[in-house]
Structure 1
């Protein structure tokens, strides 16, 4: 993480109002410096994410001449307001987040994009992002947030309030390819951003940094290779240990290593990252790492080199879910399926604050749900521009019900294990912006509709009042179960009794249209829908249908703890699909 240049004096964080150099600065001015220079962003996270959401068209963008082309955000003609709430020393203060959201709402933004997380799944009245987002939705502002980077374990996501679009991270069909070639002729493909033309492809001695049995060495922790003979060799390092991938390469370089092969641990699976390493390097999958370690143990003279192959377009297994992308189910509200959607968040090129390759304008390739979130924020801005009458919930519904569930090869979307990704990794699927602009039907929710839902969660009147901003008395309101909220998905906790819910769809397609039911019924479950066909004669006409979820014989589900399916309304022009998750009690 680069330190601020010495000329930046008087730096202070935005935190409502705060004294900086003994001068009170307004929250509206965000950050001021004593010499009146613009604010300095230490880690360039906001530069990258704002570029993804709404960066203008820039020709010949690249990093180290890789991923070359015209760069643009999702909504390149949108206006951007940036509110700084974090810094490297104290992180993201909750009061700063809320203050920035309040100011953005007052400024009249149309979309709020928050690439912030880390709070975990906490009650919504205790979550500043959920609180600020509800006020935004009441004002007609769409809110998009990253699901978090704590995957692939279940129940790890953040930002799971139903009025927020919760976004997971997927791969794109561009790889910045490098290949590890072994002395036995075997080759293993991976990725790296730094691809030096001066590195010759002749075989060099290969050594596993963990061959001495020391975990610190295996992880290539700083200083751990000082007593190992790695000079002029290719060094195999394991991912993990809270040591950055770039730092591992620096350890190898400091010890005299010629190159690094970085391999995933089992939880990281096949997800590989293109990064600006400090020496020739390649990032490989877990399976490739096992094969290379086996090779090292099979010969007295293991050899390897790295072949740099540049930018390759056309990976048929994309989109796939990145290993780090946080998974559902939601812990704050298990009756709402989360994440909602996945979008591009692995190896994304966008604007950067400093040049990593001595070229301007500056770009870098970064991965995280922080990157997938602004992709969806920009798409939401385009949808709001095309359909200004749509509510935030209608925009969310359009995004979710039109999502892709197949990859470019026409097969189910995969996860980091190269197995079909489940519903708690993908939500509704991968965003399809063109289809989202014409969804046919939407599942709309008025902000007041969340109040019976919040009462059903068992929150107190004061806790709900804190969320919605108005005095609430649940004793005067008919509360609803979580799954009864008119959400564009179902999340069912199935015991031994049937469950009955309704949904209401609004026609935003052709005035005269008829939709027929299609079901993908989850394992060990029966579903009855009434009616099985709905017809419309007007635009914005509504129709309500009921769904009975009926448990079947327990033995039918085997050892599965959950199942998944979908419910779709299909017309001549549209397919309106919502996912169904079922957790067995």
Structure 2
């Protein structure tokens, strides 16, 4: 593969399109302003560039962020009249309003095959690896773009940690600056958007303290230190550790709550690259819009071009088709799946049937196994949305001393959380809550810190419970605490909420890329969870168990750090390829990975499969991508002007080698045919494999296609390598056939004595 050079000196701005909010009159609004340096006015240093940015503004104090590394221009507070004046100045290109994006362990390291973490080193053993060998992230810096961090948590202890590498240029913005250490090496705040004025002081950064918990949870999942005795309300007890506990952590607070301004996210990414981070973890949702209108995707490309690996959440809009976000090919897009652990509570009905569910809070409220309570359905009150157990919905319904069935769902305003449901039941006098899934949630159940005995049960169980209520005049039930159960099956299985492909923006790239643990993940938390009455009974560091692609993303960020520590010279694309081509396509029982309905999940749900860190560290072959290849790929999708927006420099696509989507040297293959395609003409998909394993080595091609109406062949059928980093080209030939399914999926595998390098193949008839 040819490697080409990109110039990063040009400052052709790119356009951010966002929610159409128009400022009028003298109202101040935050805009992201994009400017282009003129040949007669070139500046090189960050200070000079910021000073030049300032010349566009009517007065000091208006600028909120100046961008230097992964985007160009600045964010500032302007009236519409002032913006009109700025737009007439030389060098101005565009300006758009800011917008908001939303936020999207004790067991997962072992579940991922990384072995049992060891306790922190004792005195005299500083610097030795405490977990996973020397490759558990040693020397790697993971930047977490999120809600901040709770620095006093033992997950950020630096026992046994060496100082950060010399390339580190960041800082610690906690009061006094002494809170950071050799584990938590940096923490900064970038909240300066006018929409968050209550949390901002414009030029006076607030300490990056996590008041939400999300950032602390994600940072400790990726690279938290080893913490013995981790648990939540007594559940999940074990030794807690991040996936790469030897990695250093830098936290960039860009979200004051669950809403995060794009201008602040960009500032965090910009700073993390400048500070020297190797991996950036972002568990925040960008809308699925074209890449030239997606500022976070553009910034992620800027980071990737500088050698920084970017891992982002696939989104929590599943099981809807084509709901995947953060789907640019330079981003690792992470789906969410379960692990083999249940925090079990069992519902037993008066008719003798019992059903397993989950909940973190498990007080033993029954005096004997024979103690049953009356069972009532919340929807019986007849009030609108009463079945969801929102505030006031149980008024007039006698639930005192009863177990209440509250349906899954957040209501029309998305404000009724599952914890809130339990609090409403408790305040109305209920003694317990059963939370059944709707059909779309299927078999995915969540263990959460409810305030009363509860059980979140699957759809089938919920239907049986409702049938029982409707079959008798006096239904009764009990909720039995069963504790933490390991070795449950099937595992992994896909979570209902995990967003699905195919990608709307680029269907020629198979998304999501990979799945990892994202259901009931235990990690650090800033404060005690569960009912206040439980706090005296559970001492020690505070943890929480939560779910989402927000949780699976830092798992993969930690895996990337794990690989980077073993292969420091690998590009982000090479690391990504290693993760994807070594993924497991079966669960722990050797069966296909299932979706939330317990049916085999396709690639639009799982990506290439479930991450296998140890295999990913030794992939044998990788599919590398040079930064210029992304430009050729983009020129196959957009105009020169639009590509220039993404590339942050002038691009003339007529002078660029255009790479069709399916021809990008990606680890997976996605081909789309029109229904009327001439089946006698095949599509040729070219790939280049780089040997990163031992030599000499010989790989043989194998093709796995379940639908015989599609024919796939590989030429040549053998690849021989005599040197490390040697590259070999091959072609996958796809004949679409006729009369087959709308989507046909399979795989191309390169098999040697030591390795199997698997690329999923998805063929769609549009």
Both structures adopt the same fold (TM-score exceeding 0.5): yes
* 1:426 corresponds to which of 573, 589, 606: 606
Residues 193 and 200, structure 2, Cα contact 8 Å, conserved in 1? no
**Match for residue 203 of structure 2 among 25, 32, 38:** 25
Structure 1 residue 549, shift from structure 2 partner? 1.1
What is the deviation of 1:295?
Answer: 0.9
Against the structure 1 CA distance between its residues 449 and 13, is the aligned structure 2 distance closer, same or farther, given a 3 Å change threshold?
Answer: closer
Shift in Å, 1:21: 9.9
Structure 2: distance between partners of 1:443 and 1:381: 19
CA contact (8 A) 2:403 2:433 kept: yes
Aligned twin of 2:298: 131
| Residues 425-464 of structure 1: per-residue CA shift (max 9 Å, x gap) | 000000000000000000000111111100001x222321
Q: Is the 8 A contact 1:518 1:569 kept in 2?
A: yes
Distance 2:764 2:265 in 1: 34
Of 332, 345, 348, the match for 1:165: 332
- Residues 240-293 of structure 1, C-alpha deviations (whole Å, 9 max, x = no match): 123211111111111111110100011111100000101110000011000111
What's the secondary structure of 1:311's corresponding residue? strand
Q: Give how far 1:367 is off.
A: 0.2
CA distance in 2, matches of 1:101, 1:86: 13
Does residue 405 (structure 1) correspond to residue 585 (structure 2)? The answer is: yes
Alpha-carbon distance in structure 1 between the residues aligned to 2:756 and 2:287: 34
Match of 1:285 among 458, 466, 473: 458
CA displacement 1:185-214 (0-9 Å, x = unmatched): 100001000001344441111111123554
Q: CA, structure 1 residues 87+513, in 2 after alignment: closer, same or farther (shift >3 Å)? A: same
The CA distance in 2 between the partners of 1:439 and 1:211, in whole Å, is: 57
For residues 76-117 of structure 1, the C-alpha deviation after alignment (integer angstroms, 9 at most, x for no partner) is 11111111111238x211111111111111111000000010
**What SS does the corresponding residue of 2:251 show, helix, strand or coil?**
coil
Distance 2:618 2:581 in 1: 10
Is it true that 1:507 corresponds to 2:507 in the alignment? no
Q: Is the 8 A contact 1:398 1:437 kept in 2?
A: yes
**1:290-310: CA deviation from partner (whole Å, max 9, x where unpaired):** 011111111111110011000
Are residues 1:479 and 2:639 paired? no
- Could you give the per-residue CA deviations for residues 308-364 of structure 1, whole angstroms, max 9, x where no partner exists? 000000013100111000001111111100000000000001000111253331100
SS at match of 1:137: helix
| 1:307 maps to which of 480, 495, 500 | 480
Q: Which runs of 5+ in 2 are unaligned?
A: 1-102, 104-146, 148-173, 176-187
State the shift of 1:15 in Å. Answer: 3.4
Q: Quick one: distance in 2 between partners of 1:16 and 1:509?
A: 48
1:566 aligned residue (747, 751, 756)? 747
Query: Does structure 2 conserve the Cα–Cα contact (< 8 Å) formed by 1:19 and 1:25?
Result: no
Aligned residues: 563
Equivalent residue, structure 1, for 2:155: none
Match of 2:352 among 182, 185, 203: 185
Matches within 5 A, 1:570-585: 570-585=751-766
Post-superposition offset of 1:402: 0.3
Residue 463 of structure 1, aligned match among 642, 649, 652 = 642
1:236 partnered with 2:405: yes
Task: Classify 1:522/1:474 alpha carbon distance in 2 versus 1 (closer, same or farther; 3 Å).
Answer: farther
Matches within 5 A, 1:50-65: 50-65=219-234
Q: Could you tell me how far apart the structure 2 residues matched to 1:78 and 1:540 are?
A: 26
**Is 1:490 aligned to residue 669 of structure 2?**
yes
SS of the residue 1:514 aligns to: strand
Partner residue in 2 for 1:227: 396
> Aligned in 2, Cα 1:159/1:182: closer, same or farther, shift over 3 Å?
same
- Aligned counterpart, 1:294: 467
Where does structure 1 differ by over 4 angstroms across 4 or more consecutive aligned residues?
16-24, 212-215
The equivalent residue for 1:5 is: none
Q: What's the offset of the Cα at 1:124?
A: 1.1
Residue 79 in structure 1 maps to residue 260 in structure 2:
no
Q: CA deviation at 1:39?
A: 3.5
Instruction: Provide the residue aligned with 1:519 in structure 2.
Output: 703
Coordinate RMSD, CA, aligned? 2.1
Provide the C-alpha distance between the structure 1 equivalents of 2:199 and 2:225, rounded to a whole number of angstroms. 35
Residue 362 of structure 2 is aligned to residue 195 of structure 1: yes
Over 3 Å counting, the alpha-carbon distance change for 1:382 and 1:13 in structure 2 is closer
SS at structure 2 position matched to 1:375 = helix
Structure 1 residues 493 and 522: alpha-carbon distance in aligned structure 2, compared to 1, 3 A threshold: farther
Counterpart secondary structure, 2:720: strand
Instruction: Decide whether the 8 Å contact of 1:140 with 1:392 is kept in 2.
Output: yes
How far apart are 1:42 and its partner, in Å?
A: 2.5
1:215 shift after superposition: 4.8
Q: Distance in 2 between matches of 1:491 and 1:222?
A: 47
Q: CA-to-partner distance for each residue in 1:152-211, whole Å, 9 max, x for gaps? A: 111001100000000000101111001000001100001000001344441111111123
Aligned to 2:523: 350
Whose Rg is larger? 2
Q: CA deviation at 1:120?
A: 2.6
Contact 1:97 1:128 survives alignment (8 Å): no
Matched, 1:106 2:274: yes
Structure 1 518/215 Cα, relative in aligned 2: closer, same or farther at 3 Å? farther
Distance across 2 between alignment mates of 1:475 and 1:13: 39
Give ranges in structure 1 of 5+ residues lacking alignment.
Answer: 3-7, 33-37
- What is the CA-CA distance between 1:380 and the residue it aligns to? 0.3
- Conserved 8 A contact 2:235-2:343: yes
Alpha-carbon distance in 2 for matches of 1:388, 1:73? 20
Q: Does 1:262 align with 2:446?
A: no
Q: Distance in 2 between matches of 1:13 and 1:443?
A: 35
2:717 paired with 1:532: yes
